[in-house]
Amino acid sequence: MNLDFFNDVFNKVKESDFAQKFTEELSNYLEKVNEEGRGQLEVQENNKNLDTYREENALYQVVDFSSKGVFLQNTNTGVTFEETDISQDILDKIGNDYILRYTDGKYVVEQELTEDFMNSMVGIQEYRKIKEQFEKESNILHIDANTRFNVLSRDNDYTMLSYGEKDTLKVPNALVPFFANEQSILCYKNGKFENA
* pLDDT digits (tens), the chain, 196 positions: 555 655 565 566 555 565 566 556 656 665 665 555 544 434 444 445 777 889 999 999 999 998 889 999 998 888 889 999 899 999 999 998 999 999 999 999 999 989 988 888 888 899 889 999 999 999 898 888 899 999 999 988 899 999 988 899 999 999 988 888 888 899 998 778 888 8
pLDDT (0 to 100) of residue 169: 92
- Same domain assignment for residues 43 and 61: no
Instruction: Give the CA distances from residue 47 to residues 42, 76, 87, in Å, rounded to whole numbers and listed in that order.
Output: 8, 21, 14
Quote the number of domains for the chain.
3
CATH of the domain at 184: 2.40.50
pLDDT at 39: 45
pLDDT at 41: 39
Buried b / exposed e along 85-108 (16+ C-beta atoms within 10 A)? ebeeebeeebeeebbbbbeeeebe
pLDDT at res. 27: 63
Q: Provide the residue range defining the domain that includes 41.
A: 1-51
74 and 103 share a domain?
yes
Contact 86, 54 (CB under 8 A): no
